[in-house]
Structure 1
């Protein structure tokens, strides 16, 4: 009787344990559900355009956000971002400061370029002679050349101006000379003075020309007579010979004997300092 009771109690405990295990498994299986995890919302971002300069004045209607105020410009009707058609040579996902990039570039060692020299070896002396040496060719500076040419041109202009001023000073010091010939049109006062000179030369020639020479010598020497303002004779020369040297010398002697002539009148002196007369002295043999 007691053995049957013990067997029944052990069977009940086993059944209860199995039931409890099944119940726990059912709860776990039915209670756990499988599903996709909800995607996390994207963080809120703000797009900022870098302004190249600061205008100071705030635009009435801004198209983009930037670190400074800047007025838009251009001919495109649609609003567009500032861009460049040239791509950067390096790819970098990190925004770096300019100073940092410069320091990084400066810290990199420069590559050492080895110079190559071609040599020729002689079989007899076994000495190596350099043929070509790699030397840095000095390129002409395009900026220095125009400077030198401009400097040379300015010095040349200054020299020409100085020469022109010197010539003007020398020309101003030169006497004002007027040359008259038989066909020249002249003022009345000039004509009167020239008539005085001509009459005096003819009078001196008539007084000092020998009678015997008149019958033997004849001709027409053409003379240039230069007279100063005080009436003195500056120069006399034969422009065209009469064909007889004796007659030419007689004509020169007559003019020298007629000098000095009367001084220039005031009206003549205002316009000239010297007179050059071209006159033909006519000698007629009888």
Structure 2
């Protein structure tokens, strides 16, 4: 009986107790490590840091050796300029500072890198071809200027030839142009005055014998001015009403009377020696069923 009671009083450790104790111990150890380990800033001055130089690619070089370089490159290049601080040399296709690429996916970053490499390759190829391209451009500009100058010279020559042809034609036309005299009331030469008086008498006689019937019935009066050109044979070359009477009946009647009065007398010999044509300028007046012409200016 006593032996059975002793067995019942002994504590029993289950699997759950062992798992709980293990978790507690692990958490305690982690807490000690996390809370017990820390980082502090070093008191060592920055001046003791190792020196460094950036390596770049130089597109040009100088013969003078650089004593205190700011960068490492494949050739010597003595810097210049007015800036107080040094600046990183760059090509037209590079940037002065690294490009921030935060937020860019790996695929986009790889595509950007490929694009930059292609641009750099094109730039260096263009640098190699630049002397040939420049010479070709100079040759092309020279040839273009020569072609343009040649074209301008050809245009000037063509224009000069055209003007010379026009001048020659004007001289020929002027030489062929008939001599002409204008007869008005101011004419004083006896031979012209005599011919004009004869012409006026025939016009007024024909006009009064053939006075326009419609104007007579309607009692129309009016004045008009007409230029008549005659050749040496007395033939009418042209007739133009330069100032209308304001009534078409009278204007047409004047032209009809002029045609009815043909033919006119040929020029006298003395007049033929002086001119080939004459222009007679007269004012025609229809008034009270009568036609009168005069040299009055209206």
TM-score where L is the length of structure 2 = 0.47
TM-score where L is the length of structure 1 = 0.49
